[in-house]
Amino acid sequence: MNFELKTLAQDELSREKCDALVVLVANDAPGQTFSKGLDACSQLINLAIKSGDFEAKVGKLLSSYRPSGIAAIRMILVGAGDGSVKNVRAAVFAAIGALKGSNAVNVVVSLGSVSNQADDVVRAAIVACGDAAYVYETTKPSVTSPKLKKVVLAVVNSAHSKAGFNKGVALVNGLSLAKEWANRPANHATPTLLATAAKALKKYANIKVDVLGPKEVSKLGMGSFTSVSQGSNEPLRFIVMHYNGADKSESPTVLVGKGITFDTGGISIKPASEMDEMKFDMCGAASVLGVFRALADLRPAINVVGLIPACENMPDGRAIKPGDVVTSMSGQTIEILNTDAEGRLVLCDALTYAERFKPRAVIDVATLTGACVVALGGVRSGLFSSDSALTSALVKAGESSLDLCWHMPLDDEYAEGLKTNFADVANVAGRAGGAVTAAKFLQRFASKFPWAHLDIAGTAWKSGTAKGATGRPVALLIDYLLAQAQAKGDLARPAKTAAKKRSSTA
């Protein structure tokens, strides 16, 4: 998908030639804009509202074909409620969704009477276009690919909306990549293939990627990560990515993504129903790839390291058994009481590896517990951190990006159940408070830096007929990283390189 930003006055909309013209109609005070207009577009909107056929309620649609006095072949009016960021996102998503099955190739989306056309609104509109237009095709050649190729976002003053537009386009590229890899079935997204996807990002300036295999990982002493992979025929991969936007001496933010390309549960095997969804157990890893793709476009003046421990969790003659004790890279021994609590076993070694970067902060992202799905559902990701500055920065980034999270507790009492007679720590602590006890396990390996853990088990994908990856929390992480760069006072390099590539063929 290609995006363009354009200044268009209200009375110019009627004359704009395109396959489809989408006009957002908000009901805030300046929403009266159209009532005074004498152009065909304004008159059509007024008539539709007066007749009761249309109202500015969020997501309400009115489609017409070759309306008189309008140069566009199709026209869609869409209600944007009070014109808030959230409502604009919903409105654009509904309108582009309605156009998906049509023959429209070039679409103009006008923010219409939405009075706030600042960065957040413009970014949300672009992200919603990308989200609505995304179709998974890789293993479904029979799917009718959407014809939509280009979206021109029409605003009252493009100079005021440029930064939001660029952020939006970068996010669409990042989110599409994250969704794509998350959606691929496990036999099309093995640890090796995931590493290849990471290596493909080397084509962008400022991104470096190294991939370690089983031998190197064993040599590092990652006995916990290695143990999870030992029941699978697919060799593990440890992916190390670097985005360098600032001086080498500047300490990086490290992102760690859980990359279990399939989670059967191992010997503590999962029930058959919905086990297919465990192909999504690498959504944390996919989100790290997505963040790096967006960073390639945005080029903020910071350094970021991405770490992805990738492997399968399978039952086998060589697989780990309940009661086995392994030694992690930190030296702590772990009694594996449940082989299905494997995420924390791969993450703990990646956290220890992160120490070498002397990070300013480490954020791990993982589809870690079913308990987090029970606690927060699909609305907010679980945020676990004892660092108050990091917590508030991540909560704020969640709000500004509409990719919400919720701060969860980390009281030491929650760690009681992790005690065992046979190792330094057990990998499970019973059913109660499962999302918190998992975080308490990880916290033992994150004592050397400010740390936060995002449990995205409920938010990373949707089940049912809409089954598919959401790309979350790419938007949250990008807002967090951009805020870090801004706090340093020197956000972007000259826009020349940032504008290099704008298509979303991620």
Q: Which positions lie near ligand BES, rule CB under 6 A?
A: 263, 281, 338, 340-343, 367-371, 373, 428, 434, 457
CB of 410 to Zn ion, least distance (A): 21
Sheet holding 425-426, edge to edge: 324-327, 333-336, 425-426
How many positions of this chain bind Zn ion (CB under 5 A)?
Answer: 4
Interacting residues of 405 by C-beta distance below 8 A, sequence separation 6+: 380, 381, 382, 383, 394, 395, 398, 454, 473, 476
* Nearest residue to Zn ion, by Cβ distance, number only: 263
Distance CA 246, CA 199 (A): 21
Q: Is the CB of 122 or the CB of 373 nearer to ligand BES?
A: 373
- Which span sits near Zn ion by CB under 5 A: 211-219, 278-286, 303-311, 420-428? 278-286
CB of 294 to ligand BES, least distance (A): 24
Is 270 an annotated catalytic residue?
yes
Closest CA to 182 of 386, 468, 497, 473: 468
Distance CA 39, CA 36 (A): 9
CB of 375 to Mn ion, least distance (A): 17
With CB under 5 A as the contact rule, the residue among 340, 349, 455, 479 that binds Mn ion is 340
224 Ramachandran zone, left/alpha/beta (phi>0; psi -120 to 50): alpha
Q: Residues 232 to 271: which contact Zn ion by CB under 5 A?
A: 260, 263
CB of 310 to ligand BES, least distance (A): 14
With CB under 5 A as the contact rule, the residue among 37, 343, 359, 450 that binds Zn ion is 343
281 binding Zn ion? (CB under 5 A): yes
Q: Residues 230 to 289: which contact Mn ion by CB under 5 A?
A: 263
281 touches 347 (CB < 8 A): no
Is 488 an annotated catalytic residue?
no
Q: Is the CB of 30 or the CB of 185 nearer to ligand BES?
A: 185
455 binding Mn ion? (CB under 5 A): no
- Which span sits near Zn ion by CB under 5 A: 54-62, 275-283, 448-456, 474-482? 275-283
3-state class (DSSP) for residue 422: coil
Neighbours of 352 (CB within 10 A): 22
375 binds, among Zn ion, Mn ion, ligand BES, none (CB under 5 to 8 A by kind): none
Distance CA 93, CA 99 (A): 10
3-state class (DSSP) for residue 251: coil
Angle, CA 284 vertex, CA 283 and CA 286 arms, to 5°? 60
CB of 306 to ligand BES, least distance (A): 20
* Nearest residue to ligand BES, by Cβ distance, number only: 370
130 binding Zn ion? (CB under 5 A): no
CB of 260 to Mn ion, least distance (A): 7
Neighbours of 182 (CB within 10 A): 28
Residue in 167, 179, 344, 380 annotated catalytic = 344
Residue in 6, 57, 162, 270 annotated catalytic = 270
Q: Is the CB of 106 or the CB of 224 nearer to ligand BES?
A: 224
Distance CA 504, CA 193 (A): 21
306 touches 291 (CB < 8 A): yes
455 binding Zn ion? (CB under 5 A): no
Q: Which amino acid is at 105?
A: V
Q: Which residues form the catalytic set? A: 270, 344
Query: Where does this chain bind Zn ion (CB under 5 A)?
Result: 260, 263, 281, 343
